[in-house]
Structure 1
């Protein structure tokens, strides 16, 4: 069962990911990021960073879409982490079962609009967010389980 779908450009990182893995009792993390899936060095580094005892898959968007029927049937607590809003849109279009997305962190670049303390969206990411909202996907930002949720209803 997918317990959390999160947008976080860092993919796997210490404190926050550990907090979410524990909070969700996650047994598997699925990273959806074309760059990471296609880079052996980055994939190897991410595998070293994962929490002990947790299964980790690193998929491209295309492979994620192909595997979604199987993912939805797994009898595990699953956390999906997306590296980009574009990947999120593509998978959500192909898999209407994803109805809620947590924005954890996006890169603060020139021209970005700040939505929350760690969420900055450039024009392309804003367009992707509007598309997700138009599809009926609920979006909120939340850094850690102990922090408040901030609904994102418009960008």
Structure 2
């Protein structure tokens, strides 16, 4: 399947900046170009850049333009090119980061620019939120009822869509890239420490993507849920563990995890860091070995688009570094 090409068009460096932000969260993307209008340039300059960007795509029949401002020069030049291709191409203005991330995720399953454009609009709007919450417009009763229904327990067993070890827990890469890839109905943070921290618990719940309910539970509670999931039956869960030790307790307690995604483990005193995102103590290495003995496999990736790393090789390097410290 040829992916829909995406062009980000803006006044100034905005398009370049949001392209970089999208890559940090969702990973590097093919067939995506940023086109900017510099203060010293005019309409013909950005038109030439747009044509060059389009020509670089594998699929020039399906192009989605995400533009900063309706009626501005970038939009007007996009619109001029669009007129001859409006049966295939699409333009969405008001570019923001949630819109871009949703577009990236949508390209995995949607083959037309029109379909993606219609799909990402609601996410772009939902990305605009206010604190204090009382300033936020009230949700329409119909939409609220639909969201409540989508999160209601259904008969059947809970599906474990992804289990991830990430010391940052629910953050941008999880809330966007992994949520779009897995499509969970629930995100469950499994941590004794976080469950005791009211502030962190509230922040995690507020960080949940639209339409997905977030929970924070102690490890023992997760074990009970796994054994009797009547309150979560029929749901698809994304589990987040702060440490491999919490994941081991959950697995040995009966949470049926066959694979764990290893995303991020922060550095602290007594740990070594064999790569940019993973730091290990001797206890961490021993814990992963115990998980492997329990039949758990490991998927080392920050985001879905990354290639899978080999945890054995990474831990071997970490072990050598720890041995050198002795």
For 1:138 and 1:15, the matched residues in 2 are separated by 21
Query: Of 58, 63, 66, which aligns to 2:221?
Result: 63
For 2:228 and 2:273, the matched residues in 1 are separated by 36
Structure 2, unmatched stretches of 5+, are 1-158, 316-326
2:254 corresponds in structure 1 to: 95
Q: TM-score, normalised by structure 2?
A: 0.45
8 Å CA contact 1:119–1:141 kept in 2: the answer is no
1:25 corresponds in structure 2 to: 183
Q: 1:107-137 deviations in whole A, cap 9, x for unaligned? A: 1124423354311111111111111112121
8 Å CA contact 1:113–1:122 kept in 2: the answer is yes
Is 1:135 matched up with 2:294?
yes
For 2:302 and 2:312, the matched residues in 1 are separated by 17
| Structure in which a larger fraction of residues adopt helix | 2
Q: Say how many residue pairs are matched.
A: 155
Structure 1, unmatched stretches of 5+, are none
1:105 corresponds in structure 2 to: 264
1:10 corresponds in structure 2 to: 168
Q: Identify if the C-alpha distance between structure 1 residues 118 and 46 changes in structure 2 by more than 3 Å, giving closer, same or farther.
A: same
Once the two structures are TM-superposed, the CA of residue 71 in structure 1 deviates from its matched residue by 4.1
Structure 2 SS opposite 1:128: helix
Root-mean-square deviation (CA, aligned residues, Å) is 1.9
Q: 1:68-105 deviations in whole A, cap 9, x for unaligned? A: 12349721221000011111110011126211111110
| Structure in which a larger fraction of residues adopt strand | 1
By relative contact order (CA 8 Å, sep 6+), the higher-ranking structure is 1
1:76 corresponds in structure 2 to: 235
8 Å CA contact 1:29–1:78 kept in 2: the answer is yes
For 1:90 and 1:43, the matched residues in 2 are separated by 21
User: Which of these two proteins has the greater Rg computed from alpha carbons?
Assistant: 2
For 1:4 and 1:71, the matched residues in 2 are separated by 17
8 Å CA contact 1:116–1:141 kept in 2: the answer is no
